[in-house]
Amino acid sequence: MTQDSKIKEILTRTRRIALVGASANPSRPSHRVMNFLLKAGYEVVPVNPGLAGQTLLGQPVVAKLGDIAGDIDMIDIFRQSDHVPEIVDEALARFPQLGTIWMQIGVVHEEAAETARARGVDVVMNRCPAIEYPRLIS
């Protein structure tokens, strides 16, 4: 399977996304991507401890992945690469059925990716679903 076909399959099967590092600032990439994903029909749970209890683009913000009720299909990470291992570990512990760890443009962590892959989770690094979706699906 090519990388494009794998990404298309991920974006097609995904329904509910936890967006780690969500921002209330409309000029921030995480805000724009969250808005795009919501408009594309995904359910998005924003994760940001500084905004917990507020709403962002109509969605209640949680402080951490462990505060999310129900299952998540994909974790979309808008944090610096050195934060990725703790996010991946928390995601794998909290969501045993997790399908995808997605690291945004500029976010790469090979060791955390291998940890996720060893659990059967797909990993996408250094890409943005708001770029890939229109390119591969729309």
Q: Is the pLDDT score of 138 beyond 80?
A: no
pLDDT confidence bin for 1, thresholds 50/70/90: confident
DSSP-based three-state secondary structure for 29: helix
Angle at 56 between CA 35 and CA 109, to 5 degrees: 70
pLDDT tens per residue across span 66-78 = 999 999 999 999 9
Q: In whole angstroms, how far apart are CA 118 and each of 112, 113, 115?
A: 10, 9, 5
Whole-number average pLDDT of the chain: 97
Q: What is the mean pLDDT of residues 1-10?
A: 93
pLDDT tens per residue across span 61-107 = 999 999 999 999 999 999 999 999 999 999 999 999 999 999 999 99
Q: Is the pLDDT score of 122 beyond 80?
A: yes
Question: Side chain identity at 32, as an amino acid letter?
Answer: R
Domains of the chain, earliest start first? 3-136 (3.40.50.720)
Angle at 101 between CA 97 and CA 105, to 5 degrees: 165
Global pTM reads 0.96
pLDDT tens per residue across span 13-57 = 999 999 999 999 999 999 999 999 999 999 999 999 999 999 999
Determine the Cα–Cα distance for residues 101 and 85; give it in Å rounded to an integer.
11
What percent of the chain has pLDDT above 90? 98
CB 3 within 8 A of CB 61: no
The predicted structure's pLDDT at residue 72: 98
The predicted structure's pLDDT at residue 2: 85
